[in-house]
Amino acid sequence: MPQDRLSANPPERAARRSSRRHAGPSRRAFLTAGTAVGGGLLLSLSLPGFRGMAAEGKAGAAALNAFVSIAPDNSVTIVAKNPEIGQGVKTMLPMLIAEELDVDWKQVRTEQASFDPSLYEGQFAGGSMATPLNWLPMRRVGAAARQMLISAAMLAWKVPQSECATQSGQVRHLPTGRTLTYGVLSATAAKLPVPDLNRVKLKDPKDFKIIGHSIPGADSPLVVEGRPLFGIDTVVPGMLYAVFQKCPVFGGKVASANLDAIGKLPGVRHAFVVEGAAGHAFAAEGEMQLTGLMPGVAIVADSWWRADKARRQLAVRWDEGPTSRQSSEGFARRAAELADKPAEKTLRNDGDAAAALKGAARVVEAAYAYPFLAHATLEPQNCTAHVQGGKAEIWAPTQNPDAGRKLVAQTLGLDEKNIVVHLTRIGGGFGRRLMNDYMVEAAWISKVTGAPVKLVWNRSDDIQHDFYRPAGWHFLKGGLDKNGKLVAWHQHFVSFGGNGKFASSAGMSANSYPAGRVANLFYGASMMPLGVPTGPLRAPGDNGLIFVFQSFIDEMAHAAGKDPLQFQIDLLGGRTVLPGGFDTGRARDVLEKVREVSGWGNRQLPAGTGLGVAFAYSHLGYFAEVVEAAVSAAGRVNVNKVWAVGDIGSQIVNPTAAVNMAQGAILDGLGEALNQKITIDKGRVAQANLDTFAPLSMTQAAPIEVHFLVSDNSPTGLGEPPLPPAVPALCNAIFAATGKRVRSLPVDPKTLRV
């Protein structure tokens, strides 16, 4: 393997080397799990290797499949196949396997897989999909391995299966009380036929000993000791350090640069222009999310500090291109112009919204807007790559290694099979690292220099070269009948795109709620061309749209003179599943529960303090949230408390992680609402660091009560669903506190002054 030839020392291996237990396969043949075309898992035989672990391990340990290996001392290594971005997947996926394998968690060591589609399906972090996609498949992997261990014990004892049971990593012969540990059985078990994964027996949830119990993060002991785990911590012998200066204007190219002068600066080994290959950089929504190699200047030095310092002497004449004429101000102006014209595209047209508005007893008009947002992962984009002789080895903090490998293969002209991608721990994802621009940059720079290269973006690179949450403008009219019932909804969404297609993450579904619950409803869209790259940010689409929908519903409730929470429940109506999978009953349930836990309607609040409510169906989960906010005379907003109720199905896999994640997502939403805005000026981003693009700080954080409703639905994910309602719940609380409606984000204290 290239990994061994290079004697690489990626953080995952360094950490593993000094951990207490070691496990790995020693056999030549291994059973591997993959997903069949029809969606079911299959186990297949793979010769000779099990690449994720081949380099080390304890003699005698046996791999039962690509996920599970068990050493003679009964220590169990379970592979987590997906990238860990802080969502807890390196703990959660192995929990699913360990539960059905029937071992104690204290026996288990988890290990991050490298990217390897021949062994693992769906190695990505995005869309809150890890739980729904893996809930049954990972459990089946564990159950299959357990069945093989039972079969090995049956052979050893010459007894029928009905006389065998398992517990805590042992098979027990019930009539005699004899036991054999999995560690003793594993070598034999690994040679046995693999059961049909679709027919293995799974536990009754009432017997769960790991699922549903709080398990602390698997890597947390290493994190609190500062051990090297992250992409930015990667060390490869002989590596050089790179920075990459792209044109501040998106799409701009290098006309000339003072490369000779830069090449003579201390420590600088290489300085060169990258022409780029940007043909498919800004893929529209629904297309493959490839990101291209942007043009720029690479500086490669013997230390990162020297490379970044040399950049300050860099003088580039840029050919800025047409995007230099675009600005946030210009977009807002154009959006207002388009608002007065018919929508270019009809997304949905139920009944006759125009006629219903004419006949309405009360009409409310409002214009809403939200800005571009960056991701600002705390670990800046980075990647380490070694490209030589038609092969590449890459250590990448990526949420989407498959797309990254394709991009590198395509851009560098390599065969995908000759590119090894190691998945490092990731210092925050939020959707940013579904794109792999940093990966192709590192690979290209390594190819040109012929050396292993660690590329690290500085924070300005990171803020100014993102795939931004697109800004959006919404022009709404709502109509109430004489009883205060919402009978008309007309919405013109001005977004970005071209040729009738929305830019990435800039779309709106025809099924967006309250569609299906307002008899006369029109959703239309108009699109402006955009040279700024956009992409998914945590709860893409919903992080802006839910602010608009849930704020405007709140406006209509107040216009009707009704309690906003009751108005929401009345609008949901009877229990049914609307097109798009939205279950009005589940939404009602979380709203009713949040009414109860927040004391909605039963609390006396001081002047300048208010409660706001909002809910969302997002990424298969249902969350209703109540925010209590206080607004000072100077317009300063203080969030006093948040109550959140979520329904993500029948089982919370890891309760401690679930509460942590929900609180974090809600605080993320509050940060977007209170602090964050990316401004485009002359085709470039005006903000350059965390002083002008500030994530939520500790003093802005509020206590958050999180409740989960258990429902009879298969478990779904949690990274995204709690975020969207936090934004409108806060804005609705501000209205309750001040009578002032927030229709533009972020919240501007000047508009809230008394």
Partner 1 sequence: MRYTLHVNGGEHTVDVDGDTPLLWVLRDAIDLKGTKYGCGIGRCGACTVHVDGAAVRSCRMPVADVGKSAVTTIEGVGNTPAGAWLQAAWLEVDVVQCGYCQAGQIMSAAALIARNAAPSDGDIAAAMDGNICRCGTYLRIQEAIKRAAKNHSATPAERKGA
- 647 to 686: interface string for partner 1, x by CB under 8 A: ---------xx--xx-xxxxxx--x---------------
Report, in Å, the least distance between residue 288 CB and partner 1. 26
Task: Please name the residues in contact with 581: beta carbons below 8 A apart, sequence gap of 6 or more.
Answer: 617, 620
Q: Interaction with partner 1 in 45-84: which residues (CB under 8 A)?
A: 84
Report, in Å, the least distance between residue 306 CB and partner 1. 7
Binding range to partner 1, per CB under 8 A, among 251-259, 279-287, 420-428, 707-715: 420-428
Cβ proximity to partner 1, 176 vs 632, nearer residue: 632
Q: Is 630 in the site for partner 1 (CB under 8 A)?
A: no
Q: Interaction with partner 1 in 499-558: which residues (CB under 8 A)?
A: none
Report, in Å, the least distance between residue 429 CB and partner 1. 8
CB 336 within 8 A of CB 368: no
Distances in Å between the Cα of 168 and the Cα atoms of 517, 588, 615, 707 are 51, 41, 42, 31
**Residue whose structure tokens are 């947002």:** 373
**Residue whose structure tokens are 């700024």:** 532
| Residue from 2, 263, 428, 608 in contact with partner 1 (CB under 8 A) | 428
What CA–CA distance (Å, rounded) separates 74 from 148? 15
Report, in Å, the least distance between residue 242 CB and partner 1. 13
Report, in Å, the least distance between residue 14 CB and partner 1. 9
Cβ proximity to partner 1, 306 vs 593, nearer residue: 306
What CA–CA distance (Å, rounded) separates 291 from 240? 24
DSSP letters of 178-244?
A: -EEEHHHHHHHHTTSPPPPTTTSPPPPGGG-SSTTS----TTHHHHTTT-S-BGGG-B-TT-EEEEE
Cβ proximity to partner 1, 20 vs 750, nearer residue: 20
Cβ proximity to partner 1, 223 vs 754, nearer residue: 223
Report, in Å, the least distance between residue 94 CB and partner 1. 16
Q: Is 39 in the site for partner 1 (CB under 8 A)?
A: no
| Residue from 140, 348, 405, 425 in contact with partner 1 (CB under 8 A) | 425
Cβ proximity to partner 1, 261 vs 694, nearer residue: 694
Report, in Å, the least distance between residue 427 CB and partner 1. 3
Binding range to partner 1, per CB under 8 A, among 75-83, 509-517, 568-576, 689-697: 689-697
Report helix, strand or coil for 247: coil
DSSP letters of 512-531?
A: -TTTTSSSEEEEEEEEE---
Q: Is 195 in the site for partner 1 (CB under 8 A)?
A: no
Binding range to partner 1, per CB under 8 A, among 62-70, 224-232, 516-524, 574-582: 224-232
Cβ proximity to partner 1, 308 vs 589, nearer residue: 308
Task: Please name the residues in contact with 164: beta carbons below 8 A apart, sequence gap of 6 or more.
Answer: 150, 153, 154, 171, 172, 173, 174
| Residue from 216, 390, 580, 599 in contact with partner 1 (CB under 8 A) | 216
Q: Interaction with partner 1 in 259-288: which residues (CB under 8 A)?
A: 266-267
Tokens found for residue 650: 């029948």
Left if phi > 0, otherwise alpha if psi is -120 to 50, otherwise beta: which for 551? alpha
Report, in Å, the least distance between residue 62 CB and partner 1. 31
Binding range to partner 1, per CB under 8 A, among 58-66, 287-295, 422-430, 514-522: 422-430
| Degrees, nearest 5: CA angle 215-217-220 | 135
- 589 to 628: interface string for partner 1, x by CB under 8 A: ----------------------------------------
Cβ proximity to partner 1, 220 vs 576, nearer residue: 220
Binding range to partner 1, per CB under 8 A, among 288-296, 558-566, 612-620, 696-704: 696-704
Q: Cα 26 to chain center, whole Å?
A: 36
Tokens found for residue 729: 């719940």
SS3 for 100-124 is HHCCCHHHEEEEECCCCCCCCCCCC
Report, in Å, the least distance between residue 205 CB and partner 1. 23
Report, in Å, the least distance between residue 9 CB and partner 1. 10
Q: Is 458 in the site for partner 1 (CB under 8 A)?
A: yes
Report, in Å, the least distance between residue 148 CB and partner 1. 33
Backbone angles phi, psi at 521, to 5 degrees: -140, 130
Q: Is 18 in the site for partner 1 (CB under 8 A)?
A: no
The total number of residues shown for the chain amounts to 754
What CA–CA distance (Å, rounded) separates 208 from 100? 9
**Residue whose structure tokens are 């006309």:** 255
What CA–CA distance (Å, rounded) separates 66 from 120? 8
Report, in Å, the least distance between residue 696 CB and partner 1. 6
CB 573 within 8 A of CB 525: no
Q: Nearest CA to 391 among 365, 415, 367?
A: 415
What CA–CA distance (Å, rounded) separates 386 from 393? 5
Binding range to partner 1, per CB under 8 A, among 406-414, 518-526, 616-624, 687-695: 687-695
Report, in Å, the least distance between residue 544 CB and partner 1. 19
Report, in Å, the least distance between residue 666 CB and partner 1. 8
Report, in Å, the least distance between residue 277 CB and partner 1. 29
Give residue 106's identity as a one-letter amino acid code.
Answer: K
CB 501 within 8 A of CB 285: yes
| DSSP 8-class letter at 471 | P
| DSSP 8-class letter at 155 | H
Q: Cα 311 to chain center, whole Å?
A: 32
- 301 to 330: interface string for partner 1, x by CB under 8 A: --xxxx--x---------------------
Cβ proximity to partner 1, 295 vs 621, nearer residue: 621
Cβ proximity to partner 1, 48 vs 238, nearer residue: 238
What CA–CA distance (Å, rounded) separates 571 from 556? 11
What CA–CA distance (Å, rounded) separates 480 from 484? 5
Report, in Å, the least distance between residue 174 CB and partner 1. 37
Q: Is 167 in the site for partner 1 (CB under 8 A)?
A: no
Beta-bridge partners for 706: 644
Cβ proximity to partner 1, 360 vs 662, nearer residue: 662
What CA–CA distance (Å, rounded) separates 554 from 558? 6
| DSSP-based helix, strand, coil % in the chain, nearest 5 | 30, 25, 45
Residues in touch with partner 1 (CB under 8 A):
11, 84-88, 214, 216-217, 219-221, 223-230, 232-233, 235, 241, 266-267, 303-306, 309, 376-380, 425-430, 456, 458-459, 656-657, 660-661, 663-668, 671, 689-691, 694-699, 701, 703-704
